[in-house]
Amino acid sequence: MRGIAAILAAGGLLALFGWMAASVSREHSTTADEISYITSGYSYWKTGDFRLSPDAGNLPMRWAALPLLARDLHFPTLNQPAWLGADVGTLGQQFFFQSGNDPAGMLAAARAMIALLGVACGVLVFAWSRSLFGLKGALVSTALFAFCPNLLAHAGLATSDLAASLGFLAAGLAGWRLLHRVTPGRVAAAGAAAALLGLSKFSAPLLLPVLGLMAIARALRGAALPVRLGGIRTRARGWRAAGILTAAFAGAALLGGVLIWGAYGFRYAGVRGAGHYNQSWDEVLMTNAPTANPDPAAAALLRPGAVQAVVRPLRAWHALPEPWLYGLTFVDRFSRFRVAFFFGKIGATGWVAFFPAAFLLKTPLPVLALLALAGALLVAQSRSGGRAGRLYYRLTPLAALGAVYAGFALTSHINIGLRHLLPLYPVLYVGAGAVALGWHRRWLAIATAALLVWHAGASLAIRPHYLAYFNPLLGGPRHAYEHFVDSSLDWGQDLPGLKRWLAAHARGETIFLSYFGSGSPKAEGIIATRLADGNFDRELRPVAPPMTGGVYCISATMFQQIYTLVQHGWTPDHEHRYAELCAWADAWTAGFDRTPRDTALQFLVELEHLRFGRLCAGLHRRAPDDEVGYSILIFRLTDAEVRGYLAGPPPYFR
């Protein structure tokens, strides 16, 4: 009876997880990638064409778009440059905001599908932890999973990060099980899990070193290999076992390949009819000589590598669908550089400390405590001799997954968010079930319960702003924008909250907005003058508009100048160019300058960025007057203050 109660409790926790993730959808506008993902997935179902977002993972995009097929939606026409050139940003804006569809309803339905994947991942966490630590340990693992603000954040978004977390966990477990018993069911499970991972994220090749480490551990153990295939019942050892396992994994790989082909309609070409991918094959394969670059290290990163060397023959042989091969190569090519912000610095090739710091600051303190406690208890198990050895061996797949993925993250050049570390959380939560090993000591059981209550309380306290969660080590989410932005904090999710704030606090005032994200302020009913965010605004807009006193609403990512022409703080070079353009603009506006219109437009865009950059550099010296969802900073400025920021002493500051 106790077992049934524990299983019901775990089921209740996971049902609560699914509801908590999906129910906040109406609180948030679309985040930066969601429109592209949903639009692409819908186009796959409707057109059988895979030109849009082939780098983003076929399965989660199709899965998220599945409920939209039952709706009477209007998709953009295909006889336009945006479709022919695979401009998913433009098509997504049309699909969501210009075609008469219900964007909030579409978004909520797609997000609910990803929440279901989150529940499935939680089921796997429970089952794996139960096999290692019994029902008590499994309940600890499930409770950690269910209230994890980072998992809740991404289980409530129509992106691929949660699907990848499920894929890594499933593929690791399925591979480990196949190493210990060869049956048709286990071969099929390993192939299906590999396909799930391969269709979710192009970090899937990391599964190969994970399987390699597990295979080494299995070989060192040397136990017989049970084999059950049809009428064959045997136990193999040595080279015979190695040969059987090689054949079994080859069969799993073959099945995984077939499933990947099926996801693309068993057709090699990704583009049907006229048009092409957003970038050429030459670009992603880096077959052209790199352009001149003053930084030799940066130029070296643009040379073809292992991915290109592998993809070229696979492409020639049509071994896998073209859009899958293209997506893998695209991800490798464009992960060489990615502008990012970390503790006041802006860089394009990442920092080794980024992910350790993000993990330390975005993981709840009670979770860190429980992980430390679980680790200490596992070390203490060494005193129990053979029993500890068996447990350590069974932990091998978790250790392999954690070590390979963490090592990959530390060397990654993409430092734009904790979400790229998300697959580690389910792995760690399974391992955290080890705290149940010490529950024969009553104080440990009480301490675990207290930490779990604290964890649940921290999660509920940040709701619905799961994406912006930071623990108290550096002050929580309130000042997190000083250390992290982009998808660690500000992914464009808080337009509904901004609308409510403006209605309550700024009626009739002049509003200026610099927004990072793919949402539509106009669709949310926000009327504002946009500043320096043209990369994220596809509407017609004034260029270099006058800046006066008013309410300035600035996304944290824009405040740190990552995606503007002003980076690394305000410099003398910026000040010199700003003075030049101000003088030019005065002359051009008065009709004394004959600069051609196209060139003048470029100058005005640059001037807009410089004005905004000078303003933000000055605003760094003061605290925001308010915040919305921790991701949009509010400054209420007078005319005199704005003039001071734009024309006063240069704000050389960072």
Structure tokens at 214: 């597990």
CA 544 to chain CA centroid, Å, is: 33
State the CB neighbour count (10 A cutoff) for residue 552.
28
What is the residue extent of each domain of the chain? 2-264+350-461, 494-647
Triad 293, 296, 301: Cα angle to 5°: 85
H-run or E-run covering 530: strand 529-530
Where does residue 512 rank: exposed (0-12), middle (13-18), buried (19+ CB within 10 A)? buried
50 pairs with which residues across the strands?
A: none
Instruction: Kindly state the DSSP code that residue 182 receives in the 8-state scheme.
Output: B
Backbone angles phi, psi at 225, to 5 degrees: -105, 110
Look at residues 19, 31, 22, 23 and name the one whose alpha carbon lies nearest to residue 631. Answer: 31
Structure tokens at 168: 């890594």
633 pairs with which residues across the strands?
A: 554, 627
User: How many angstroms separate the Cα of 176 from the Cα of each of 137, 180, 234, 249?
Assistant: 20, 7, 19, 11
Instruction: Write down the pLDDT at residue 294.
Output: 46
Q: Residues with Cβ < 8 Å from 68, sequence gap 6 or more?
A: 38, 42, 106, 109, 110
CB 515 within 8 A of CB 558: yes
Look at residues 532, 528, 529 and name the one whose alpha carbon lies nearest to residue 610. Answer: 532
CB 610 within 8 A of CB 581: yes
Backbone angles phi, psi at 427, to 5 degrees: -60, -45
Residues of the chain with pLDDT below 70 are: 1, 289-300, 384-386, 653-654
From its phi and psi, is residue 517 left (phi > 0), alpha (psi between -120 and 50) or beta? left
- CA atoms of 145 and 319, how far apart (whole Å): 38
- CA atoms of 341 and 358, how far apart (whole Å): 12
Task: Calculate Rg over the CA atoms of the chain.
Answer: 27
State the CB neighbour count (10 A cutoff) for residue 273.
10
Residue with tokens 């999710």: 493
CA 317 to chain CA centroid, Å, is: 32
229 pairs with which residues across the strands?
A: 232
CA 494 to chain CA centroid, Å, is: 17
Triad 616, 622, 623: Cα angle to 5°: 100
CB 630 within 8 A of CB 489: yes
Q: Residues with Cβ < 8 Å from 342, sequence gap 6 or more?
A: 351, 353, 354, 357, 415, 483, 484
CB 260 within 8 A of CB 40: no
- CA atoms of 158 and 114, how far apart (whole Å): 6
- CA-based end-to-end distance of the chain: 61
CB 412 within 8 A of CB 486: no
Q: Residues with Cβ < 8 Å from 164, sequence gap 6 or more?
A: 57, 197, 200, 201, 203, 422, 423
SS (H, E, C) 560-607: CCCCCCCCCCCCHHHHHHHHHHHHHHHHHHCCCCCCCHHHHHHHHHHH
- CA atoms of 169 and 127, how far apart (whole Å): 12
pTM equals: 0.95
228 pairs with which residues across the strands?
A: 233
